[in-house]
Chains A and B, each alone.
Chain A
Amino acid sequence: MRGFGAFLGKELREITHTWRIWGLPGFVLFLALTGPVLALLTPELLKSMSGTAGMSGVVIQVPDPIWRDAYLQWTKNLTQMITWVLIVMLGAMVSGERKSGTAILVLTKPISRPAFVLAKFVSNAGLVVVSIVLGALGTWVVTFAAFGEAPVRILAEITGVWLGFAIMIVAVMSLMSALVDSQLGAAFLGVGVLIALTIASMWGPALEYSPAGLLNAPNTLLMGQQTSTLWPLVTGALAAVVCVFGAVWAFSRKEL
């Protein structure tokens, strides 16, 4: 693992010195801050539509929004938009430096290829964790301001469970981008994995024991339904380890 620390340092400086510091964190924070506001305003918007042309006589009854609606926006953003953004963004995670030629300058120095791949995984997983924690914090603040109530524990649970899923996605994308040079191609494979997990989540045993169970877990937890996330988290972590090892193996075999 020679060179891991030095290269991880470069990766972290790259995040803070380039657009990446604004990209994912900015997007997540935007969704996190606007979600509760949207939850607050949606019923009013729907009610106001009842008086518009073509809707006369139609009475729309919507219950008053509560903190749960704001958190629902947050889980919806996590499981849908942010997951897709992660897959596309991380499509060039390993291959990007190969295509730009920077990997050649780096890997002709005494840094091992496993260290190169692991530093990429750790830095990107770190960026995801920080972005999501900031987003959760933002959602909590705005939810509390808008609704006067914002339970911390349930927000921490749904965010934590989804982070487990997100880290697995980072690992999956490290493998895909080590296998495929094209960012679009790697993203396409990542979407394939997501679709496979979505299909698997319709099957009971897969929902209970595989990482597919993490897809719906945030919503299930938020709705107060009985669910165990232990096995999905364990198998998700195992899948992440396998993917990272696969990425190391694939990248170590590549000629640059």
Chain B
Amino acid sequence: MSVPAIELTGLSKHYGSFRALDNVDLSVPEGSVFGFLGPNGAGKTTTLRILTGLARASSGEARVFGTSVADVGNDVRSRIGFLPDVPGFYDWMTAEEFLRFAGSLFGLSAPVLHERAGALLDLAGLTDVHAKIGGFSRGMKQRLGVAQALINAPSLLMLDEPTSALDPIGRKEVLDMIASLSGRTTVFFSTHILSDVERVCDTVAILDRGRVVAQAPIDDLKSRYGAQKIVVDVARNVSGLERRLAAEPWVSAVERENHTLTLTISDIEAARSAIPAAVVAEDTGLIRLEGGEVSLEDVFVELVGGER
């Protein structure tokens, strides 16, 4: 069994009486594109700051490829690439100068640096950009941020909210870059944007108020936690059917669109027998009855949204 890329054991971080992280256990398999999902203030950035050595844990342990980040910081940092949520660049440098500088901190030789800087500028779509970074758009800076995080060909790439402040085009560009890394390196990707996770990640952990409330491959998570959905398409009297089903104790929500009802249910067995009976009783005529798709958003809301 291979060593996890990231392993957090009982990790806690306190700021006075506030618990930013509360006894977090997490394991990120090597080679995965891992979504670290949570609402703002859940503790995602704090976790990344501890993993990169920018902050110290109050208790517990953070390991990267089996090595504690607290003990041998520089050795761990040699193997990781990191993009903070708001990357700060030297505005007087060009993109190529920054990549060369970043590579020099890893002790890369000149030929390797030349080759990698060229390839990464190409990946970031900045090859023909010779302006100073001070004149870059937010999207260009974020793409350069991903590129600089890859200069050492890291075994683990950690990205903190890489798309949160981007416009749709910038978001697509950065997500495409991340998706292109799948299978080449482990990506640990923190975000509160669910659609980004669904698009590029294969495994996800959900963090809420400093605690991991779920961790699994996305499909497992949907089937395990997501409330079941059933779509009922009828020919007539949809209002009567809606009223009847909404009164059932196993129906937690009903959405109606024309003659289609989407039911969020808590008891699949009860629904299987009761829905056909309700259709007959209301004489609606059945066109379609099928399972609906559970989104990560449904899982997220179920896990962290209930008490908000």
Asked if A255 and B55 sit within 8 Å, CB to CB, the answer is: yes
Interface residues of A in 97-151 (CB under 8 A from B): 97, 100-112
A18 at the interface (CB under 8 A from B): yes
Asked if B104 and A107 sit within 8 Å, CB to CB, the answer is: no
What is the bound-complex CA distance between A107 and B80, given in angstroms? 12
8 Å CB contact of A108 from B54, B93, B104: B54
Asked if B53 and A107 sit within 8 Å, CB to CB, the answer is: yes
Residue among A6, A17, A18 having the largest count of chain B Cβ atoms under 10 Å: A6
Asked if A104 and B106 sit within 8 Å, CB to CB, the answer is: no
Chain B at the A interface: SS class: loop
From A7-15, A53-61, A192-200, the one touching the partner chain is A7-15
Given A7-B105, A18-B92, A255-B54, A109 and B77 touching (CB < 8 A)? yes
Asked if B54 and A10 sit within 8 Å, CB to CB, the answer is: no
B88 at the interface (CB under 8 A from A): yes
Given A110-B74, A110-B77, A6 and B101 touching (CB < 8 A)? yes
Asked if B77 and A255 sit within 8 Å, CB to CB, the answer is: no
| Chain A residues, CB < 8 A from B74 | 2, 110-112
| Chain A residues, CB < 8 A from B86 | 101
Chain A at the B interface: SS class: helix
B76-108 Cβ-contact flags toward A at 8 Å (1 or 0)? 011010101011111011000000011011110
Nearest residue, chain B, Cβ from A19: B92
B191 at the interface (CB under 8 A from A): no
A3 at the interface (CB under 8 A from B): yes
Given A101-B87, A110-B78, A256-B55, A6 and B92 touching (CB < 8 A)? no
Chain A residue total in the interface (Cβ 8 A)? 25
| Chain A residues, CB < 8 A from B12 | none
What is the bound-complex CA distance between A255 and B50, given in angstroms? 9
Nearest residue, chain B, Cβ from A97: B88
What is the bound-complex CA distance between A123 and B145, given in angstroms? 26
8 Å CB contact of A9 from B89, B104, B145: B104
| Chain A residues, CB < 8 A from B215 | none
Asked if B105 and A3 sit within 8 Å, CB to CB, the answer is: yes
CB proximity of B161 to chain A, nearest CB, Å: 13
Nearest residue, chain B, Cβ from A2: B74
Task: Give 23 A-B contacts (CB < 8 Å), ordered by A residue.
Answer: A3-B105, A6-B107, A10-B90, A97-B88, A101-B84, A101-B87, A102-B89, A103-B88, A105-B84, A105-B87, A105-B89, A108-B54, A108-B77, A108-B82, A108-B84, A109-B106, A109-B152, A110-B74, A110-B105, A110-B107, A111-B74, A256-B49, A256-B55
A residues with CB within 8 A of B: 2-3, 6-7, 9-10, 14, 17-18, 97, 100-112, 255-256
